[in-house]
Amino acid sequence: MKIRKLHPTTETPPMDLLLEADPSITKIESYLRHGSSFIAEIDNHISGIYVLLPTSSDIVEVINISVREADQGKGIGRKLIHHAIEQARAQGYTCLEVGTGNSSIDQIAFYQKCGFRMIAIDHDFFLRNYERPIFENGIQCRDMIRFRYNL
């Protein structure tokens, strides 16, 4: 597996994969314009993606991360997170952040296993920012749980 930067002028981002992590095409298109995308490839097949978006001079956020369902459970997500940590350090940021929904039980555990610490809850984030209700694991996604990794 290799991880490389997606070249937005010559390559089309895998929208189906990005939509797995964020149901809003409008939001995805916005952060693709302002962020940097990195893809994981196995035998020229895109198996995962993440997008880094600077939020301040010291902080960069993993705004979207997704691994194809068929490729999950192979450590690709962990490798993408470690790559994001390396990218953030190389670019001189002091913190890497990520947010996920209160209903994203597996993701909440995943980020903590990767060394992220919970720092905040943005109450009703998904109710304010998405037109349609989102449900995962039988739970309505209402709040954004924010995590930080100090570099």
Per-residue pLDDT of 27-82, as tens digits, reads 999 999 999 999 999 998 999 999 999 999 999 999 999 999 999 999 999 999 99
pLDDT tens string 118-145: 999 999 999 999 999 999 999 999 999 9
pLDDT at 137: 96
Distances (CA, A) of 127 to 30, 46, 84, 94: 19, 31, 28, 30
Distances (CA, A) of 120 to 7, 113, 146, 147: 33, 18, 5, 7
* Secondary structure percentages of the chain, helix, strand, coil, to 5: 30, 35, 30
Integer Cα distance of 71 and 88 in angstroms: 25
pLDDT tens string 81-125: 999 999 999 999 999 999 999 999 999 999 999 999 999 999 999
Number of domains within the chain: 1
Residue 2: both structure tokens together = 């290799």
Q: What is the dihedral of CA 116, 122, 123, 128, to 10 degrees?
A: -130
Integer Cα distance of 50 and 47 in angstroms: 11
C-beta neighbour count of 113 within 10 angstroms: 10
Integer Cα distance of 148 and 131 in angstroms: 27
CATH of the domain at 102: 3.40.630.30
Domain range for 106: 2-150
Range 3-25 average pLDDT? 94
Residue 13: both structure tokens together = 């981002």
Q: Does the structure show a pLDDT above 90 at 8?
A: no
